[in-house]
Amino acid sequence: MTKLIPAKRVDIVQVKLIREKTMLYKERKIRSPHAAYELMRDFLGDVDREHFIVLCLDTKNQPTCIQTVHIGSLNSSIVHPREVLKSALLSNAASIIVAHNHPSNICDPSSEDISITERLKKACEIVGLDLLDHLIICSDSFKSLKEDGHI
């Protein structure tokens, strides 16, 4: 005797990127790591925990959206490439710049910072995005992992 299995219901969904608010960027284009640092520092403001953010850019290096991907603890943030790439894919970005702050104000990259940069670079290559840089943001300085040779 064959046991009847009921049909599986499949949800029909729509995925959307929702704008929470906007901010003005007078320079219009990101022309250097320092320009990206200034925009991302302004976005972050004065936060007391580690925030990992992604800045999505169009083909002319104009910022299209910025998102906080993860908020960590005082000295760590667990980041997964799928979370970082989600807003980039939904916004049809050509490239991204990622960043996170170091509340300690010491801009030296940790081994975890370098490791996630390598994972993100590989993930971006697979989906056809350019990872332009990974910045470590401190209150009055920053470190570009691209300039340090990690990208």
| Residue with tokens 């925990």, as numbered in its chain | 49
* Strand runs labelled E in the chain: 51-57, 63-71, 95-101, 130-137, 142-144
Which of these ranges, 17-26, 50-59, 128-137, has the smallest mean pLDDT? 17-26
Q: Is 25 a domain residue?
A: no
Q: Is 14 a domain residue?
A: no
Please answer whether residues 146 and 133 qualify as being in contact, where contact means their C-beta atoms are separated by less than 8 angstroms. yes
- CATH at residue 136: 3.40.140.10
Helices 81-90 + 111-127 axis angle, to 10? 40
Among residues 145, 150, 151, 149, which one has the least CA distance to residue 33? 145
β partners of residue 97: 55, 133
Q: What is the pTM of this model?
A: 0.88
C-alpha to C-alpha distance for 147 and 139, rounded to whole angstroms:
19
Q: Is 3 a domain residue?
A: no
Q: How many domains does the chain fold into?
A: 1
Q: Is 60 a domain residue?
A: yes
Q: Is 151 a domain residue?
A: no
Domain of 65 in residue numbering reads as 33-142
Digit-coded pLDDT (tens) for 29-76 = 999 999 999 999 999 988 888 999 999 999 999 999 999 999 986 666
Q: Is 16 a domain residue?
A: no
Digit-coded pLDDT (tens) for 73-116 = 666 667 889 999 999 999 999 999 999 999 888 999 999 999 99
What is each CA distance from 64 to 53, 72, 85, 119, 145, in whole angstroms? Answer: 14, 25, 14, 23, 22
Q: Is 1 a domain residue?
A: no
